[in-house]
Amino acid sequence: MLSSWDQLKGHAEQRRMFQRSMAQNRLAHACVFAGPPGTGKREFARLLAMSVFCRNHAMEELRVCGTCRACRAFSAGTWPDFHEVGLLSGKREILIGQVAGEGEKRGREGLCFDLSMKPQSSDRRVAVINDAHRMTAEAANALLKTLEEPPAQALMLLITDSPETLLPTIRSRCQQVRFFSLSDTDIRSILLDNALVDIEETADAVSRLCEGSVETALQLLDGDLRKLRDVVAQELQLLETMNSLATTNAAVETIEQISSNAGEQRQNAQWLLKFVSDALRERLRTLVSGDLSDPLTQRLGARRGVDLLTSMLTRTVTTSGQIDGMVPVSLAVSSLFDDLAQTLRAAMKGSSP
């Protein structure tokens, strides 16, 4: 968990927005933080809460000192005016008990009850509801009641990557705050600063591929997708001498190994295409940068090398549509690598000394 705003990457505009609305005393009782997964919405919400409680900074500064009683207790998870709910381990939904108490304890326990109490150690109570779109209908309706008549000192932050599946009545009672994907540079520093990766090249490759999401970056670093990524890196390392049959076999075998059904096979095949495109794009970058030592430049000249890689990239992108269009994965993959190898051979042949 982050303990200072300096550690948060991106989202500067959202931070300024909260500073403004706090300074003007216009802070809403409830906000929906909506945006792609793995971009730091929850970290932002927690820092916002910590800033509300910090004793050494006025709320509108939106800063935390990290050392006052409130900051220390907040970081230790013992600050009594902060409440957080989310999916319990093994559950796919946020349950009524978490929001409003279960059975006999309905209305006398849970998040809404906590929020209705006077703050204990500060002048506000702050609640974070993670995966807010996963509330059961019962839980959502209980929260709706609190949103309709919010306790004066309550601040509720609903986090979601699927705002369209929240009850419209909930959405309309919250201020909407959009979060966006992180930049490649932000992801790269998150990976390196937190020692999630120790090789810079890996951090570069993963940050290019993860579409601005730390969650996706971690998937790429760990387990199945990593296996597939490694296969592509290995097979395409010597692009000029790519063997289409060996590459197809390695790719299809890995996809079958890491997928438990046809749907997953298609998803993983799409990842394969992203890895292939990324490798081609990287090579393109080398050529465009005027690196004369690149074998393709030496053989074809930079201009023709660029044309070749561009047509290979275009061919790779077409395969994505085929896979969505239900062409069997093994067929789509083998025809892709056959075509790539053939395009390469034709270009080389045309240039043979």
The residues binding Zn ion (CB under 5 A) are: 54, 56, 65, 68, 71
3-state helix, strand, coil in the chain (%, to 5): 60, 10, 30
- The owner of tokens 């009524």 is 96
Shortest reach from residue 62's CB to Zn ion, in Å: 12
The H or E element containing residue 53 is: helix 41-53
Instruction: Name 321's Cβ contacts closer than 8 Å, sequence gap at least 6.
Output: none
Shortest reach from residue 128's CB to Zn ion, in Å: 18
Convert 253-291 to b/e letters by CB count within 10 Å (16 or more is b). ebbeebbeeeeebbebbebbbbbbbbbbeebbebbeeee
**Spatial separation of the C-alpha atoms in residues 214 and 58, rounded to whole Å:** 31
Shortest reach from residue 242's CB to Zn ion, in Å: 57
Closer CB to Zn ion, 75 or 175, in the complex: 75
Shortest reach from residue 58's CB to Zn ion, in Å: 11
Closer CB to Zn ion, 74 or 275, in the complex: 74
Shortest reach from residue 7's CB to Zn ion, in Å: 15
Closer CB to Zn ion, 54 or 154, in the complex: 54
**Spatial separation of the C-alpha atoms in residues 41 and 215, rounded to whole Å:** 12
Closer CB to Zn ion, 71 or 99, in the complex: 71
Closer CB to Zn ion, 64 or 287, in the complex: 64
How crowded is the C-beta side of 158, counted as CA atoms within 13 Å? 29
